[in-house]
Amino acid sequence: MFTFQLQHTDPKSAARAGQIETAHGSIQTPIFMPVGTLGTVKGVHQRELESDIKAQIILGNTYHLYLRPGLEILEQAGGLHGFNGWKRPMLTDSGGYQVYSLSAQRKINEEGVTFRSHIDGSSHTFTPERAIDIQRIIGADIIMAFDECPPYPCDYEYAKNSMELTHRWLDRCVKRMAETGGKYGYEQTLFPIVQGSTYPDLRRKSAETIAAAGQPGNAIGGLSVGEPAEDMYETTDQVCGILPKDKPRYLMGVGTPENILECIALGVDMFDCVLPTRNARHGMLYTSEGIINIKNAKWKDDFSAVDANNPCYASQQYSKAYLRHLMHTKELLGPQIASLHNLSFYLWLVGEARRHIIAGDFASWKEEMVKRVQRRL
C-alpha cells in the first residue's frame, strides 16, 4: 500500500521531510532519484547504488524499455525488478518527455503520439492506455501519467491546448489504471503531471485539475526545458501552493544542486535529473565546494581527493589528477568514478537537506549551501 507520511515542516520555508512507503520499501524525502533510462543507471553497479550512493529509488523509461529489450522479455523476466535485480523502489517515466525530446520524429493527436523509433525508424503509437499497459509490464512502483511536455518558449494557445490534452489523457490513464492491476502481485501507483508552461493561470488550472484527480502523489512537469531559473522557481512555488500537502510532490527533470535546494525550500519532495550522470561522463563534477571540470589542465597534478568531504568511497579513494588522467585517456573507469561521485553527492545533498529540515535550521543551511555548490573551482 502506497503511503506518504509528512514528518517535519521547516518553519521558515515550505520545505518538508517525509516518508513514502511502497511495495519495494520506503523512501525518505526529500529525495533525488538517479535516472536509469534503459534499466541501468549508466556506468554504475547496483551494489554501488545501494552502498555508496545510497539510492532509495531509481528511474526507468517506458519508451526506451519498450523498444529494447521489449515487452516480451520484460514480462518473462518478471518486470524490470526481475530483469535487472534492483530490489528497491522504481519509477518509470511514461514517454511524455520523449514527446518533447524526440519532437522531430513524432506526431501528436487526440488519441496519442506516434513515434518514429530513433533506433530503426519503425513506427510506434503510444496512447495513455498503452503507456499504462507498458508500465504495468515494466512493473515500477510509481508510474507516470502519459503527458505532453511542451517546449520552451511556448505560445499561450499551444500551452493551453497541450495542457488540456494532458488533462484528458490523465482521465484515460486513471481509467486504465482502475481497469488493470499489478502484474507481479504488488501495487503500482499513478502520479499525474501538472503542465501549463510558465503561464500562471494555466498552471493554476492544471494544478487544481491534477489535485482533484486524487492520486497518491503528484508531479510537476514541463519545467527545466530551457526557461530561466526564476521562472522555474515561480512556477514551482505557485503549483506547490495548490497541490495537497499530504501527498508527495515530484518535480520532474530538476536539476542542478542549487535548483534542487531552492525547490526543496518551495515544498518539493522528489527529484530526478540526468545531470549528475551525464555531466559526470563529460567530466563535470559536483562537489561540496563547487563545480569542477576535471578535464581542465589545472587538475593534472592535484593529488587531493576528488571530494574530501564526500564520504563516498570513490570520492575519497581517487585523486583529482588520477581521475583527470582516466577521463583524458577515455578509460572506462573515469566516467564510472565520476558518476559514482556525482550521484553520491546528490544523495548526500538531499540527505543533508532532510537532516536540517528535521533539525529546524534548513533555511539558513540552504542559503549557505546554494552559494557553495554553484561556485566554479
Partner RNA sequence: GGGGGUGCGCCGGAGUUGGAGAGCCGGGCCAGACUGUAAAUCUGGUGACUUUGUCUGAAUAGGUUCGAAUCCUAUCACCCCCA
Applying CB under 7 A, which residues contact RNA?
35, 37, 41-42, 59, 61, 64, 93-94, 96-98, 100-102, 104-105, 118, 144-145, 147, 149, 193, 219, 221-222, 224-226, 229, 252-256, 259, 272-275, 277-279, 281-284, 293, 295-298, 300, 328, 330, 332, 335, 376
Q: Least Å distance between CB 322 and RNA?
A: 14
Of 221, 230, 262, 265, give the one whose Cα is nearest residue 96. 221
The amino acid at 331: E
Q: Least Å distance between CB 9 and RNA?
A: 25
Residues 346/32, Cβ–Cβ less than 8 Å:
yes
Whichever of 162 and 310 has its CB closer to RNA, that residue is: 162
Residue 372 C-alpha cell reads as 557553495
Q: Least Å distance between CB 105 and RNA?
A: 5
What is the C-alpha to C-alpha distance for residues 232 and 259, in angstroms, rounded to an integer?
Answer: 9
Whichever of 171 and 361 has its CB closer to RNA, that residue is: 171
Residue 63 has phi, psi (to 5 degrees) of -60, -50
**What positions carry a catalytic annotation?**
93, 272
- Cell 563547487 locates to 290
Whichever of 230 and 364 has its CB closer to RNA, that residue is: 230
Q: Least Å distance between CB 195 and RNA?
A: 7
Q: How big is the chain, counted in residues?
A: 377
What is the C-alpha to C-alpha distance for residues 281 and 330, in angstroms, rounded to an integer?
Answer: 10
What is the C-alpha to C-alpha distance for residues 278 and 91, in angstroms, rounded to an integer?
Answer: 19
Whichever of 24 and 64 has its CB closer to RNA, that residue is: 64
Whichever of 72 and 329 has its CB closer to RNA, that residue is: 329
Residues 213/174, Cβ–Cβ less than 8 Å:
yes
Q: Considering just the CA atoms, what is the radius of gyration of the chain in Å?
A: 20
Q: Least Å distance between CB 124 and RNA?
A: 13
Whichever of 61 and 215 has its CB closer to RNA, that residue is: 61
Q: Least Å distance between CB 127 and RNA?
A: 15
Whichever of 94 and 344 has its CB closer to RNA, that residue is: 94
Of 192, 297, 284, 187, give the one whose Cα is nearest residue 244. 192
| Neighbour order of strands in the sheet with 90-93 | 58-61, 90-93, 142-144, 189-191
What is the C-alpha to C-alpha distance for residues 228 and 205, in angstroms, rounded to an integer?
Answer: 22
- Cell 535516472 locates to 35
For 124, which DSSP code? E
CA 270 to chain centre: 7
Q: At what angle do helices 362-373 and 257-265 cross, to 10 degrees?
A: 160
Q: Least Å distance between CB 268 and RNA?
A: 12
The contacts of residue 368 (CB under 8 Å, 6+ apart) are none
CA distances for 358 relative to 11, 170, 258, 340, 354, angstroms = 10, 35, 20, 27, 6
